[in-house]
Amino acid sequence: MKILIIDECSFRKGTVRKIFSDAMCSLPINFQHSGCSKSAINTLDKARRSRLTKINLIIIELNLVIEHNLALINYMVKVKDSSTPIIIIGNADGWVLKLVSNIVSSFKLNLLGSLNIPLRSADVYTIIQKIKQIYGKGNTEHMSVAAHDTVGVIGKLNEEKLSLYYQPKIDIITNKIIGFEALSRIYIDKKNIITPDCFLPILESNHFNFNLTKLVFENALDYWGSHKALKKYQLSVNINIDDLLSEQLVSEIISQYKEYEDIGLTLELTEYSPIKDEVITFKSIKRIITNGIKVSLDDFGKSYSSFDRLDSIPFDEIKIDKSFISDLDTNSRHQAIVEAVIELASKLKVKVTAEGVETHSVLKMLEQMNCCYAQGYYFSKPVAATELVDWIANYNRQLEHI
C-alpha cells in the first residue's frame, strides 16, 4: 500500500507516519512525502501514468489543501481522480476544518474525513476501517490477527489472555536498574500477540479502557508483591487521564495499593484528548498522591501532555516522548527541545526519563544534558513477566564486570 503524506513540517510527517503505521499494524506500507502542492502534483502525475506507482491514500495538511488557490485539489479535479482516498489533517478550529472539508467534498473527491492535530489513535483507527472497505479484505490480510476485530479483542481481554511485559528504566550515570514499566499485550497464540497500538483504539472506542487499566494494575501489583526480589525496583503502570473520571476505579487502585505499600508505585498519566472534567480529574490525582502513589507525566510533548500540565498536576517525573529521543543525535531541533525540558525539570526538582533510547550516541547526549533515566531497546526490549527475574540477575551480573 502506498501512502502520500503532503506536509511541509518534517517532524509532523514522521508523527503521521508512525500513527498510521501503528493503526494498520503489520500491513506493508510504502510512504512517500511531499512538502508542497507542486511537489505533490508531480508525484501524483507520475503515479497516474504508471500503475506500478499508484497512490492508495493521500494525507494532506490543511494549509497545503488551500495552497496556491487549491492547486492540488484543482489538479485532482482536472485529471478526474475521484477515487483516491483523501484525509485532511490540521491544527485549527473545528469550523475551519469543516469548511475546507466541505469545499473539497463539493468537488466530488473521495474525502474520507478530516482529523485534528494532534492525531488520536481512535480517530485514525476509524478512518482505517473506511480504507479497508475501499480496498477490500484481501488487501489487508497481513494485518495482525483480530486487531480489527472488536468482538475478538474485547472477548480476549481477561486474565488468561492478557500478558504483561516489563520495560526496564535505567539510571544513566550508574547504569543501575531503577524500575520497570508494565506494558500490556493480548495473547492470541504463539505466533500472534497484539500490541496496544492495535487494541487500544478498539477498547477506547468501545469504552473498555477502564477494564484494561484495572486488569493491568491488578496483575502488575500482584506480580510485584509476590516476588521479593522485585520490591527494590519501582513499578510504573500506565493510566489514561480519562480513567481518573471513574471514582470507583481510583478507589480500587488505592485500596489494592494499601495491600502492597512496600512497593514503590508510579502511575504514568497519558492524555489522548483534552480533560473532560478537570474538577473530578484533579480530585482523583490528589487522592492518589495523598495515598503515597507517585505520578508521572508520560509521553511529554506529544498529544495533550504539555507544558500547561506542569502547573496543574503535582508530579514526580517527566517522561519525554520517544519521538523527540530516537533521532536526538542527528536532529538539532529535538536536541534543543529535550535540553530545555531537562533544564526546566531540574528547576522544578523532578526527574526526567527519556523514552525510546536505541543507540549509544543518543545515550551519551542524554548524559551530557543531565537526564536522569533512560528506557529503550539499547538496554532491552520489554521483558516477559516469566523471564523478568532471570533478566534482572543477568543484567546485574554483567554490570558488575563493567
Is residue 196 a contact partner of residue 157, using CB atoms and an 8 Å limit? no
Q: What is the pLDDT of residues 323-363, one digit of tens each?
A: 899 889 999 999 999 999 999 899 989 999 999 999 999 99
* Rounded CA separation 322/220 (Å): 23
- Residues in CB range of 258: below 8 A, 6 or more apart: 291
Name the residue with higher pLDDT: 231 or 95.
Answer: 231
Q: What is the pLDDT of residue 99?
A: 84
What does the pLDDT read at residue 309? Answer: 61
d(CA 120, CA 14): 15
Alpha carbons 7 and 378: distance in angstroms, whole number: 31
What confidence tier does 211 reach under pLDDT thresholds 50, 70, 90? confident
If you write DSSP's letter for every residue of 38-74 in order, what string do you get? HHHHHHHHHHHH-GGG---EEEEEHHHHSHHHHHHHH
- Return the pLDDT at 387: 93
Averaged pLDDT, 306-321: 76
Alpha-carbon gap, residue 239 to 121, rounded angstroms: 16
- pLDDT, mean over the chain: 83
Does the pLDDT of residue 148 top 80, yes or no?
no
Dihedral sign computed on CA atoms, order 30, 36, 37, 42: negative
> What span, in angstroms and rounded, lies between the C-alpha atoms of 261 and 263?
5
DSSP label at residue 70? H
Domains in the chain with CATH codes: 2-140 (3.40.50.2300), 150-400 (3.20.20.450)
Least confident piece of the model among 1-15, 41-55, 92-106, 339-353: 41-55
Q: What is the pLDDT of residue 19?
A: 84
Per-residue pLDDT tens over the stretch 360-385: 999 999 999 999 999 999 999 999 99
Residues 6+ apart with CB under 8 A from 363: 172, 357, 374, 378
What number is the average pLDDT over the span 68-77?
89
Res. 136: pLDDT tops 70:
no
Q: How far apart are CA 274 and CA 241, in angstroms?
A: 9
pLDDT value at residue 195: 73
How far is it, in rounded angstroms, from Cα 384 to Cα 166?
Answer: 6
144 is written with which cell numbers? 495482525
- The pLDDT confidence band at residue 102, using thresholds 50, 70 and 90, is confident
Strand partners, 235: 180, 265
Confidence (pTM): 0.64
